[in-house]
Amino acid sequence: MLLFTPGPTPVPEVVRQAMATQTLHHRTPEFEAIFKSARERLIKLFGMEECVMLASTGTGAMQACVLNLCETKALTINSGKFGERFGKIVQSTDKDLVELVYEWDTPATIDDIKLALESNLDIDAVFIQICESAGGLRHPVEEIAAYVKSVNPNIMVVADGITAVGVEPIDVTHIDALVTGSQKALMLPPGLAMIGLSKAALKKINKGKDYYFNLAIEIKKQRENTTAWTAATTLVAGLNAIFDEIEKEGGFDALFAKTAKRAEATQAALGAIGLTIYPKTPALSMSTVIDDDAEAIRKLLKTKYGVNMAGGQDHLKGKIFRINQMGLIPIHESAWVVNSVELALGEMKRRTFDGTANRVFNEVYFK
Ligand SMILES: *Cc1c(COP(=O)(O)O)cnc(C)c1O
């Protein structure tokens, strides 16, 4: 079965091998060398001042940012499940919340953020997804971050890049914290969260009070190539292995270019067989189709064509399907996915199968 869900993504064989070695004790020079290498490569990938690795899923890193970077009031952008999650995390603390709610296909606007900031002068942190994975939507995060900083440079801008880091280059000029997780574009098993941090974020973090997610303590330890609590040793070793593998394939620039082309080719192929892309501003990490037959198409792909893609949640349950674009995906697999969607439409008598999806995919990808 081809795993084509936008996280978890398949783990390459060499990475699985690298994680199959004997467990190292985390307080040893051997592991510290592995940690140091992973840390340096992460800082380079984020393009930021500092980074921390946490033994948690991505949500843990989102929570760590709320706990360490917001003191008074948070502004969260809810265009789907993950934006909603930032709001729920804030509500689980003593901090106040202002939430901008949008339909799941709609990106946040600077006008709305302007209004929210003007009527809530005590907002000290803004939380937003780069890609809201619930609908595959790309928010204009860079523009929003620049605007927020122009209003007040002390407001922290926290970007959830869990389905953006490793997908596309991100301009972090106005971003204070950039969050990612292991099981999406970095192609590792779940359980390692990573946060890139700006100079301004480092200053604010000194006041952190939380116990497990105490970024002040973590940063101090991680600068010494160790961790406050037991490190996720296997996943950190896997992180070095995936960096090696991405380098072997031409580095991150090559991966970004291939991901963008795959996303473009997939979208063109789906459009050519009469399907509708759901978000108004689609992200590159996944291709999302809205269709009354979404569930039937997804089921046929799973049972007949060996493709596992994701559906929708909440009010989009049964209404959308999402095809992953993250990671080192063999191009023939992506071509097969759009081809099987066309086969499914043929079977459902929606159109006569003539290989259009595969042809358009290849024309666009190799043009
Ligand atoms: C997957 C994902 C998360 C994190 O989910 P976890 O299950 O905690 O790893 C957060 N934000 C976005 C945008 C995601 O796609």
Rounded-to-integer distance, Cα 289 and Cα 267, Å: 9
Do β-strands 123-129 and 156-160 pair in parallel, antiparallel, or remain unpaired? parallel
β-strand partners of 290: 276, 320
Residue range(s) occupied by CATH 3.90.1150.10 in the chain: 251-365
As a three-state string, the secondary structure of 275-312 is CEECCCCECCCEEEEECCCHHHHHHHHHHCCCEEEECC
Q: How far is the centre of ligand 1, averaged over its atoms, from the C-alpha of 221 (Å)? A: 26
Give the Å distance between the CA of 251 and the centre of ligand 1.
24
Does any ligand 1 atom lie closer than 6 A to the CB of residue 162? yes
Distance 331 CA to ligand 1 centre (A): 25
- The pLDDT value recorded for residue 207 is 66
User: Is the minimum distance from the CB of 181 to ligand 1 under 6 angstroms?
Assistant: yes
**333 Cα: distance to centroid of ligand 1 (angstroms):** 24
- What's the pLDDT score for residue 209? 77
- For 63, residues 6+ apart whose C-beta sits below 8 A from its C-beta are 89, 213
5, 53, 57, best to mutate for ligand 1 pocket (most atoms within 8 Å of CB): 57
Could you tell me the CA-to-CA distances from 69 to 42, 65, 129 in Å, in that order?
20, 5, 16
Pocket flag, ligand 1, residue 163 (CB < 6 Å): yes
Q: Are 288 and 322 in contact (CB under 8 A)?
A: yes
Q: Is the CB of 160 under 6 A from ligand 1?
A: yes
309-301-354 Cα angle (round to 5)? 120
Q: Return the CATH architecture of domain 13-247.
A: 3-Layer(aba) Sandwich (3.40)
> Where, residue-wise, is CATH 3.40.640.10 in the chain?
13-247
- Per-residue pLDDT of the chain in tens (367 residues, 90 and over written 9): 999 999 999 999 999 999 999 999 999 999 999 999 999 999 999 999 999 999 999 999 999 999 999 999 999 999 999 999 999 999 999 999 999 999 999 999 999 999 999 999 999 999 999 999 999 999 999 999 999 999 999 999 999 999 999 999 999 999 999 999 999 999 999 999 999 999 999 999 976 678 999 999 999 999 999 999 999 999 999 999 999 999 999 999 999 999 999 999 999 999 999 999 999 999 999 999 999 999 999 999 999 999 999 999 999 999 999 999 999 999 999 999 999 999 999 999 999 999 999 999 999 999 9
Strand, coil or helix: 178? strand
Whole-prediction pTM:
0.97
Residue 72 carries which DSSP code?
Answer: S
Ligand 1 close to Cβ of residue 58 (< 6 A): yes
Distance 265 CA to ligand 1 centre (A): 25
Domain 251-365 in CATH 3.40.1350.10: no
SS3 category, 76: strand
Nearest atom in ligand 1 to 60's CA: 8
Instruction: Identify the bridge partners of residue 178 per DSSP, sorted by sequence position.
Output: 159, 196
CA 91, 117, 103, 67 torsion-angle sign: negative
pLDDT score for 208: 64
CB-CB contact of 326 with 315 (8 Å)? no
Q: Please indicate whether residue 63, judged by its CB atom, sits closer than 6 Å to ligand 1.
A: no
Atom of ligand 1 lying closest to residue 129 CA: 13
Residue 24, pLDDT score: 92
Report the SS3 class of residue 83: helix
Indicate whether residue 133 lines ligand 1 (CB < 6 A). Answer: yes
